[in-house]
Amino acid sequence: MSSLTLSKRRKRIVWALPFVLLLTVLYGLHYGSVSIPPQEIWTVFLSGGDPLYRQILIDLRLPRVAIGLLVGACLAAAGALLQGVMRNPLADPGVIGVSAGGGVAAILTMVVWPQAGFWLPAAAFAGALASSLAVYFLAWDKGASPVKIVLAGVAVNALLGAVTSGLMVVYSDRVQAVIPWLAGGLEGRSWHHLRFMAPYAVAGLLLSVPAIKPANLLLLGDDSAKLLGQRVELQRMLLILLASLLAGTAVSVAGLVSFVGLVVPHAMRLLVGDDYRYLLPLSVAGGAALVTLADTAARTWFDPIELPVGILLACLGAPFFLILLRRRKRLI
């Protein structure tokens, strides 16, 4: 792989992704139990158009596509940042306990207060952030090294997983509503959810821009980064906080969507290298496109059944990931 082809490839991907993203959005708006022709989409947005189309587009598809974009973007950004912070290409938001914490909080909410569906995102968000903070501070011993964070994450995940299973067994009658959420999906997500997540998602994505530089420096390893005058512990803590904000936001609305945070940054890394100036924006775009596309597929392919997008992503993601690993082996 010569550098010429790397920089060429970077350029091509940078140019291609906006189009991919646009097509994905159009596909998501267009496709469904009622297909809406692209020109009708324009008419609806510009001048009102057909009332039925308008209702479907504005009330159903637009918020769902927007949520898909944000969820994918947040998960991929979180995964990309964590892979750098942990210096481990196989890290994903699950490592720092985000998913497990969100899951427990969501189930507790349903058990304690079954009518509180409205507050589910807020509770999951709080749980996700709380457990990632717990992981970080459990790992702290004059600094939180990546290895300790991973170990603390394993411990916290195991504990929270046990709590989740326990609650589901004991209160099996009350947790029906939570099962699709645990599988990770966007069914029935609407403006209410978008309004909840959008500020955090946008804030997190905007904060990712200044995170690019420290993420790049941490890639060199703690010692080299320190010798370059960086406050490594502080930066790592802030990056982990940012990653848990991003992942927690996604989890709050979409539930436990796995693999996006792992596969998208990993695939992008193979295409454009480790430089976060390329890796992060491309992961954000790639994650957004992937989740939106997969969600459109999940709600239409198996019509009239809607499959949770998390299941579809895992089904597609697992083999794809194995292919990536095999390819990587050849490269090394």
Contact positions vs another protein (CB under 8 A): 1-4, 6-7, 87, 210, 213, 216-217, 219-221, 223-224, 226-231, 269, 273-275
Q: Closer CB to another protein, residue 51 or residue 229?
A: 229
Tell me the HSE value of 143 on the side-chain side, using a 13 A CA sphere.
12
Q: Which of 188, 210 has the CB closer to another protein?
A: 210
CA distance 248 to 254: 10
**What's the rounded Cα separation, in Å, for the pair 129 and 183?**
20
The Cα 202–Cα 207 span in angstroms is 8
Helix (H, G, I), strand (E, B) or coil at 145: coil
Distance between CA atoms of residues 261 and 247, nearest Å: 8
* Minimum distance of another protein from residue 209's CB (angstroms): 10
When the beta carbons of 194 and 242 are compared against another protein, the nearer one is 242
Residue 183: CB minimum distance to another protein, A: 35
Q: How far is CA 213 from CA 85, 185, 218, 235, 270, in A?
A: 12, 33, 9, 10, 20
Orientation angle between helical segments 191-218 and 62-85, nearest 10 degrees: 20
How near is the Cβ of 224 to another protein at its closest, in Å? 7
Cis preceding linkage at 38, omega within 30: no
CB of 238 to another protein, least distance (A): 11
Could you tell me the smallest distance in angstroms from the CB atom of residue 326 to another protein?
18
SS3 78: helix
